Amino acid sequence: MAYVLPAIFALFVWWFATGAIIWLDGLPKHTFKWSMAGATLLALAGLYGLSTSAGGSELWDTYVAFASVMAVWGWVEISFYMGWVTGLQKHRCPHGCSGWRHFGHALRANVWHELAIVGFLSAIAWLTWDAPNQIGLWTFIVLWWMHESARLNVFLGVRNLNEHFVPDHLDFLKGFLRKADMNLLFPVSVTVSTIVCTLLVVAAASATTPFEQANYTLLATMMALAILEHWFLILPLPFERLWSWSLGSRKEPTRTGPNVAAGVASMPIALASANNK
């Protein structure tokens, strides 16, 4: 149970948070200010939770820090997908735009979003600096890795683009998606993630205290989900059905098919695909 409970907890938070954000993003736009206000309160509570749990080394401190970081990451995702914190470019590139020029436009479309992530990373590092409980900082770093790797892969080209998950108010982001069987970055992303995940599993297995076992198990689970999310982009399987319940807030039913959604880590790659951007 020392390993099962943390793994189930991380899996549930990943699955539920992904669906909750998709559901909120499908509501009428006049509700976005309330969703953003709620996300801001949760993010502030998350930062407070990180500050209070950083100095502890009990099992409870592990779960508080992990949940706190997920609350902060929820703000990062909601602020982007509801259009509050995006970037300088809010229109599609002209026909024929490609290469580094196209990549530069993608960066412009995300610049404030990326800076917000760096800002939160800096704040979390400061709150947990030289503290015994580092699970919050490392969880955020894993989330960031999942997020950026997924975005780059979708930009370079994957089989499952999930355009139908992109909300209407971010339609211009579809211009940064590329459909392809695979790209050269994909095997690198999966290989690096698999190596890190294996090292975390070994560390969890060799840990001697419940605190360390939970820490490494949570991180290993999140990294395993990162690998799974990447395969979601390639495999022709209907993984998006994991979050079909979250589409009920949309005005029109969303078609289902072989495309897939991924999790909140990239948030979800169903949406994160849009983010590439």
pLDDT number for residue 167: 67
Confidence bin at 155 (pLDDT 50/70/90) = confident
pLDDT number for residue 276: 36
Residue extents of the structural domains in the chain: 4-276
Q: Which of these, 258, 265, 261, lies nearest to 242 by C-alpha position?
A: 261
| DSSP H helices in the chain | 4-25, 32-53, 59-81, 99-108, 111-127, 135-156, 185-206, 210-232, 269-272
Q: How far is CA 183 from the centre of its chain?
A: 21
Dist CA 15 CA 120 (whole Å): 22
pLDDT number for residue 164: 59
pLDDT number for residue 56: 92
Q: Quote the tokens at residue 201.
A: 């599993």
Dist CA 173 CA 91 (whole Å): 8
> Could you give the 3-state DSSP secondary structure of residue 179?
strand
> Could you give the 3-state DSSP secondary structure of residue 158?
strand
Residue for token digits 């970037």? 87
- CB contact burial 113-129 (16+ within 10 A = b; e otherwise): bbebbeebbeebeebbe
Tens-digit pLDDT profile for residues 69-127: 999 999 999 999 888 998 888 777 777 777 878 788 888 888 999 999 999 999 999 99
Tens-digit pLDDT profile for residues 18-29: 889 888 988 888
pLDDT number for residue 254: 45
